[in-house]
Structure 1
Amino acid sequence: MNRTAAPFTLALAASLLAQATLADEVQVAVAANFTAPIQAIAKDFEKDTGHKLVASFGATGQFYAQIKNGAPFEVLLAADDATPAKLEQEKATVPGSRFTYAIGKLALWSAKDGYVDAKGDVLKKGDFQHLSIANPKTAPYGLAATQVLDKLGLKDKLAGKLVEGQNIGQAFQFVSTGNAELGFVALSQVYKDGKVTAGSAWIVPVDLYAPIRQDAVILEKGKDNAAAKALVEYLKGPKAAAVIKSYGYEL
């Protein structure tokens, strides 16, 4: 037997056991628009911290209702700042944990190349059957879409062509599958590293809708979870910031 190997093996085993003991799992409610970024961030987060991130995706308004009904979420990455602020006021969060992790942008998108022009004039022409948006009552990007239509004076004209998804993920799906010729989606769903990844899009000017400030907060159920605290800190760091910006968000 190699007598020098035994202490080293024991030390390595102890180190691995300590890491496993310290590692935690965090249940995260993630706004649908942030699906791709958080999936990319999760890989680095788990590698760098040892903690595991378990994400559920949906509409922020729906998450609020689920949280109030006892859902086991420990961190909320919302698509707005109002919902986390409301939960904060209701004493359902860890005080001081709320911050803006991204500022979202809206895009008018079609899966067809060349269908959406650079100025969004396709909306005014109205030469389409269906325009997809997320539910404006539960999804901030859906609300932003209605604000754009209102600002452009097209709300009444296009009302009969609107198709609502439960969240921005479903709104995107309606367009990607051809069930709607075009739709308002989160820029992050069709954009990466400075360019639109598929189809054609108009990046909607930010003065046509209220700023989409997306806040994160540690929920009451995550107050004693080291992984929840680690995730919030990780989202403020340079690695996460680089990923978030690559999907078209502002910080």
Structure 2
Amino acid sequence: MVKINDDLKIKKGVEDQLFTKALLIKFIMITAVLWIVLGWFYGISFTNILITSVFLTGFAYVLDVYILPRIGNVFALISDLVVAWAVIWIVGSIFYPLANLGTISLIAAIIITVGEMFFHPYMERKFDDEHEPSREENKRQYKGNLQTEFAEDMDIKTAAQAKEKDVNMIKSEKRNENDPSREKRQYKGNLQTEFAEDMDIKTAAQAKEKDVNMIKSEKRNKNDPSREERQYKGNLQTEFAEDMDIKTAAQAKQKDVNIIKSKKRKVNRSRRK
């Protein structure tokens, strides 16, 4: 709350400085125009020019701050022209009555309005530049609020998941109390799961060791070209020995079959006799 109040005070201070600067620039511009039109050409004293500038700047400031922002830039310039003409004519008729005061006031009001055409866009740019950091701060604050809300949602979800886990544990304990054999089955299931995980780890280790051996063998073959040839011959001999074992087993089996057939023939002959 204190930080918000400080930000508001800072923002208000920046706006006050901006309006004070605008008021000072407007006063200098109006004084310069009136000094050229009234002082140089018609010999009006500088004191009367300052009095007219003060009145005109005050009315223009009220219009710029409270009325003109609501009606747009075009209507603002028309209003500036009318107000400047009226104020110069009224103040002039009191302090320095001239023969053609209406025309003189109109000429001065037109020049001041031309200056306002450049003054209004300049002040709008300055106002935007002064408030740009505030907009960036608001954007960062908005993003920070979104992140905070997201973190709170995640905390709520995590708490809900933890609560659901506790509820499931309580239900599981109750089921175990009602069914004593359930706990044993659950214990066996956990053991089987741990055993399966151990087997997976061992299988992965064996596969990794096999890959390492293959890599080492390839490196040795690269360093010793004759090694690959010897290994190939060894594989051929192993395959030949396996083929020989298969043939020997087949021959032995055929021999046993022939012996059995020979015995059967002898038995049949003895029965005939």
Pairwise TM-score range, normalised by the shorter structure: under 0.3
Structure of greater Rg: 2
Higher RCO, 1 or 2 (CA under 8 Å, sep at least 6)?
A: 1
Query: TM-score, normalised on structure 2?
Result: 0.23
Bigger helix share: 2
Bigger strand share: 1
